[in-house]
A and B are shown apart, each in its own frame.
Chain A
């Protein structure tokens, strides 16, 4: 089986803090994978390593067989938890800027998604609420045909209406078999239905992972209940 993402003995240390500890994992192509874990478990670090934004202390992070870095960035759509867009730009300027660097960004699809997310192209990014930011970041990522989509807490700290819009857009634009989505979240109940696979991280180590349906069957519980059991 071809793998979208692979981690070999992946370790990341920030000063004295060990964020990831010799992680080994293989994520197959064309799946929606939930990355679950409490704060500080290493979720964001893992996503940033695959996005090529940070460098491993040891081991390697591979994206479609290539070491994560400049060469793999055009194959990855990365959405961080916080606002990373230029506050002085408008929604449309941010879309056009991204288009200049990502040839796979479909401007018309972006406009459609932005309208569906109830955002105006002329709105200044600095004036957007947290929910609007989250919807805009996701619209820009979903307007690309990048084979790998990394979403860091896209549902965190936003209103239920925005969360619903985000999950609907995610399901509607997802191309099963072609696109691999890694979604880190604490909102397990709302997003559980979208997961094909689940990774549970704790203190930088993988504590459990597998097919979502198999895990439900084996443990005779929902992923949300499993999440509660593991991290209680």
Chain B
């Protein structure tokens, strides 16, 4: 129950950047749609790179999440937050959950509007793919790729939580220790992935319906599992080692 309360509190705290980001995404796509009417059929393809907007959103989400943690320490509201009868995992889950919800809102809006843009562009170019087929590919393959992207983002949130908490254990230069910790964690996880490569290679891959491509999802799954361990460690440290 406390986790839900903390999540609601966190979303309320972050509502302005969330709403502004959603409005910015909407405005950018509206502008892209308006451009389509001014361009020739062939030139319309030039508008499609706006779809890549979805990728920097992971950085924006991570930045917001990091800021949310940093502000608690900087403004000393940790003395209120941790005077509540809550455990570290509840605080981190609420913060991570708020980041995940905002990320899903950003990316779903972006993916939906991006999909509509792709369909509109391809619809104006005579070809073999019908509008229905295009939507089908976008939805079936897009959802598989989106799940990967979401798991990867959630993983980075987990790693950033551990890095941030490790930084708080340092007597000073918390930001430097946190950033260094984040890089060390990513390096160690990368090493683990290399060791696990032979195992992943024998596990089934995911095929895409469009074309003949596919991808190995196990790296992302493992990344997510490691991030759960990282977030769990961060929670334990908050409860047993970090002073406020």
Interface residues in chain A, defined as those with a beta carbon under 8 Å from any beta carbon in chain B: 14-15, 48, 51-55, 69-71, 73-74, 76, 78, 80, 82-88, 97, 100-102
Contact = CB atoms under 8 A, between A and B. Distances in A.
B76 A70 contact: no
A152 to B, nearest CB: 10
Contact of A78 (B76, B83, B239): B83
A86 B243 contact: no
A86 B77 contact: yes
B87 to A, nearest CB: 6
Contacts of A78: 79, 83
Contacts of A87: 75
Nearest to A87: B75
Interface in B209-241: 239-241
Contact of A53 (B2, B79, B87): B79
Contacts of B239: 69-70
A74 B87 CA distance: 12
10 contacts: A54-B244, A55-B243, A70-B239, A73-B83, A82-B79, A84-B76, A85-B80, A86-B75, A87-B75, A88-B13
Nearest to B80: A84
A53 B244 contact: yes
Given A70-B239, A73-B85, 17 more contacts: A14-B171, A48-B244, A52-B82, A53-B82, A53-B83, A53-B244, A54-B244, A71-B85, A73-B84, A78-B79, A78-B83, A80-B76, A84-B77, A84-B83, A85-B77, A86-B75, A100-B2
Nearest to A88: B13
Contacts of B9: 97
B79 A101 contact: no
A71 B85 CA distance: 7
Contacts of B85: 70-71, 73-74, 101-102
B86 interface: yes
Interface of B: 2, 5, 9, 13, 75-80, 82-87, 171, 239-241, 243-244
Q: Find the residue from A53, A69, A85, A101 having the highest chain B CB count within 10 A.
A: A101
Contacts of A48: 243-244
A55 B241 contact: yes
Contacts of A53: 79, 82-83, 243-244
Contacts of B76: 80, 82-84
A69 B171 CA distance: 22
Contacts of B77: 84-86
A197 to B, nearest CB: 24
A88 B12 CA distance: 10
A89 to B, nearest CB: 9
Nearest to B16: A88
Given A55-B241, A83-B76, A84-B80, A101 B13 contact: no
A23 to B, nearest CB: 17
A73 B79 CA distance: 12
Contacts of A55: 240-241, 243
A88 B17 CA distance: 14
A15 B77 CA distance: 23
A84 B72 CA distance: 9
Q: Find the residue from B2, B75, B85, B239 having the highest chain A CB count within 10 A.
A: B85
A73 B87 CA distance: 11
Contacts of A52: 82-83
Nearest to A16: B171
B10 to A, nearest CB: 11
B79 to A, nearest CB: 4
Contacts of B13: 86, 88
A88 B84 CA distance: 19
Nearest to B75: A87
Contact of A101 (B2, B171, B241): B2
